[in-house]
Amino acid sequence: MASESQIPPDAQHYLVCGTEGCERNCQFYCNDCHQQMCEQCRDEHQKNKKTNSHDVVPYKQRKRQIPVEKCQIHPTKKMVLLCEECQIPICYKCTATKEHRGHAFTDLEIDFDEKVSLCHEEIAKIRNYFEPTSRDLKKEIAGDVTEIKKIMDVIRTSMKAEAESLKKLVDTVTSDKIKQVDKIEQSLLETLNGQNQKIDVYINYLSDLITTFYSYLSPSNIKQITLALKSESFIIRPIPETSKPVPPVFTAGNFNKEDVTKLLGRITVQNTKPENRKIKPMETASTQLKPTGKQRKQGREKSGVKQTLSLSSSVTKVREYTVPGVDDVYHISLGKSGRLWVSDIDGNLVQTDLQGNQLQKIQTSGLRNEGFHTITQDGDLIYTEKGKKAIYRLTPDNTITEFIKTGNWKPLSIHSSHINGDILVGMMTDKEAEVTRYNKTGTEIQNIQRDNKGQEMYCLPHYVTGNINGDVCVSDYDNAVVVVDKSGQNRFSYTGQGLRFNPFGICTDVLGHILVCGTNSQTVHLLDQDGHFLSLLLTKQQGMVKIYPCSLCTDDENNLWVGQSITNTVTVYKYLQ
């Protein structure tokens, strides 16, 4: 139930006829009597000789009755006129005063009705456009608040995981150094212990020598003393040499907070001016208040697509193309116009029409066994140049411009979402790999690299795509299909069905299925959006000859386009019904 603050001030349950004793619905209004009327009372009103000249109109076209207000100069008179020059309401007696002498006057009721109508028009604009549009913005802002909190939580989790990783490294290095100190200590102590034993032997020798000399202290041993003094045994051996140990010196590391900061990841605050939220124009808003019958039908048809489609029991070939200008088909990008872009392992990027005619060709650099191009929401081609560490855009007028610089990262794979326009890029350095999300203007908004435990999720993200639930699906070469949610949290990994799994081309469909090429199994693996294996497509059991699927995409008719790694053939299959 709406609160009182939400009920419009002019709202009521229903309009009732103003004739005494009549409770029928009001449909008409007498501008002279300022009375609400039903159809029957209107007929009687117009038949009455006293009122048959009154202006009776449909209720919505009525003139608003002026609230009764007395003239401040003539308190017994009502204000019924508007002085056009002074623009103030007056009574009839005021027209004769010197302040208004010679001025023009209009019926205050007519002027009031016009201004009231204007006010109601503005009220209608507020209720039908400005207020709902503002509430939509509040919902969008609330969604952004939730999204920002999720992103910040992910950043905090990643920072903590990185710090824990650094702590473990510090502990490992410290442990190794302590072991080194232990060995040095053991060596020094062994040396000192040897010196100590040598001194013990010497002290025993001195003790024995004292005893011998004492035995000579007798007159009867004069002869023995004389002989002893002449012998070398009487010479006291010198004190053995010993040395003081030289302990190691610990030199403390020369580092500060800034050095530690450089070791850890950085938070980049974008200097790009925030993009203004889109506000639908009033004309568009007014037409969208109530959808037409055609719009409702289209909406039902669109919403029913997912409910009526299901996996077919068989896979049917629809058509096949031979693409000129390429030796193989390592990636396919399909535009709205039906034209497709195809690339081969040598970096040739060719556009053809559906008859197989070459329209244009771009030579990119290096070995390109990855999904390095995609079509944006606006119909532009964007593609990566990993050697130049940049992403380029080709507009419909065939102008190529640098779109995004990726810094120290080599961009491998790319995907533009046709849902929200976000751009996903699989990138790597010599030691790390990640997926970076950009908005459609090229502003970096998210980095996806580690899981909840701080472990690296990617080795070589050479194909990337998005799913209808916001998941990011990566084909990681010689590893697995790695899927994270839109906040970057790891959901699952798929590693194939027994054989060694080398995933290549990957795409999703309108049902949220994930389709990925398994080059070793020479087939297409079909998963649901939660990573559960459903089936293998394009197998011998399905009547397919031996093929080597390498690249995939789906079209608006829910067909699967498959490019091969050993021929320049693109084949279209129907696998949904």
Pick the range with the lowest mean pLDDT from 160-164, 257-261, 497-501: 497-501
Predicted confidence at residue 292, as pLDDT, reads 41
Nearest-angstrom CA–CA distance, 223 and 254: 75
Query: Could you identify the residue written with the tokens 């087939």?
Result: 523
Give the N- to C-terminal CA distance of the chain in Å, as an integer: 45
Positive/negative CA dihedral, 31, 37, 42, 45: negative
* Residues 105 and 111 sit within 8 Å (Cβ to Cβ): no
The rounded percent of the chain whose pLDDT value lies above 70 is 90
* Residues 375 and 335 sit within 8 Å (Cβ to Cβ): yes
Predicted confidence at residue 267, as pLDDT, reads 76
Residues paired with residue 16 on neighbouring β-strands, in sequence order: 25
Angle 131-216/222-230 helices, nearest 10 degrees?
130
Q: Is the predicted pLDDT of residue 31 greater than 60, yes or no?
A: yes
* Residues 166 and 263 sit within 8 Å (Cβ to Cβ): yes
Q: Is the predicted pLDDT of residue 544 greater than 70, yes or no?
A: no
209 band by pLDDT with thresholds 50, 70 and 90: confident
Domain ranges of the chain: 10-62, 113-263, 309-576
Which helix (H) or strand (E) element contains residue 574? strand 569-576
For 135, list phi and psi in degrees, rounded to 5: -65, -35
Q: For 432-458, what is the mean pLDDT? A: 91
Nearest-angstrom CA–CA distance, 479 and 458: 8
pLDDT digit string, tens, across residues 294-316: 444 444 344 444 446 788 878 88
Dig out the tokens for 434 from the structure: 């990640």
Residue spans of beta strands (DSSP E) within 86-231: 88-90, 105-107
Predicted confidence at residue 303, as pLDDT, reads 41
Q: What angle do CA 106, 112, 114 make, to 5 degrees?
A: 95
Residue 128 carries which DSSP code? I
Pick the range with the lowest mean pLDDT from 54-58, 183-187, 511-515: 54-58
Arithmetic mean of pLDDT over the chain: 84
Query: How many helices (H) and strands (E) in the chain?
Result: 7, 30
* Residues 419 and 375 sit within 8 Å (Cβ to Cβ): no
Predicted confidence at residue 233, as pLDDT, reads 64
Predicted confidence at residue 283, as pLDDT, reads 59
Pick the range with the lowest mean pLDDT from 43-57, 168-182, 247-261: 247-261
Q: For 237-265, what is the mean pLDDT? A: 86
Q: For 508-526, what is the mean pLDDT? A: 88
Q: What is the 3-state secondary structure (H, E, C) of 454-507?
A: CCECCCCEEEEEECCCCCEEEEECCCEEEEECCCCCEEEEECCCCCCCCEEEEE
324 band by pLDDT with thresholds 50, 70 and 90: very high
Query: Could you identify the residue written with the tokens 């202006």?
Result: 55
Q: 524 or 354: whose pLDDT is higher?
A: 524
- Say how far residue 152 (Cα) sits from the centre of its chain: 12
Predicted confidence at residue 273, as pLDDT, reads 75
Nearest-angstrom CA–CA distance, 51 and 157: 81
* Residues 25 and 38 sit within 8 Å (Cβ to Cβ): yes
**What region does 8 belong to: left with phi over 0, alpha with psi -120 to 50, or beta?**
beta
Query: Could you identify the residue written with the tokens 């081969």?
Result: 344
Q: What's the pTM?
A: 0.51
Could you count the other beta carbons within 10 Å of the beta carbon of residue 407?
A: 11
Predicted confidence at residue 522, as pLDDT, reads 81
Q: What angle do CA 451, 457, 463 make, to 5 degrees?
A: 135
220 band by pLDDT with thresholds 50, 70 and 90: confident
Nearest-angstrom CA–CA distance, 392 and 279: 30
Q: For 13-33, what is the mean pLDDT? A: 84
pLDDT digit string, tens, across residues 184-205: 999 999 999 999 999 999 999 9
Q: Is the predicted pLDDT of residue 68 greater than 90, yes or no?
A: no
14 band by pLDDT with thresholds 50, 70 and 90: low
CATH number of 309-576: 2.120.10.30
Nearest-angstrom CA–CA distance, 362 and 347: 8
Nearest-angstrom CA–CA distance, 181 and 184: 5
Pick the range with the lowest mean pLDDT from 259-263, 363-367, 397-401: 259-263
Nearest-angstrom CA–CA distance, 546 and 567: 12
* Residues 382 and 423 sit within 8 Å (Cβ to Cβ): yes
Pick the range with the lowest mean pLDDT from 157-166, 253-262, 487-496, 521-530: 253-262
Q: For 110-132, what is the mean pLDDT? A: 82
Predicted confidence at residue 226, as pLDDT, reads 74
* Residues 536 and 503 sit within 8 Å (Cβ to Cβ): no
Distance of CA 551 to CAs 269, 381, 526, Å?
Answer: 36, 17, 14
Predicted confidence at residue 115, as pLDDT, reads 79
Q: What is the 3-state secondary structure (H, E, C) of 228-262?
A: HHHCHHHCCCCCCCCCCCCCCCCCCCCCCHHHHHH
542 band by pLDDT with thresholds 50, 70 and 90: low
Nearest-angstrom CA–CA distance, 408 and 313: 47
CATH number of 10-62: 3.30.160
Q: Does residue 146 sit in helix, strand or coil? A: helix
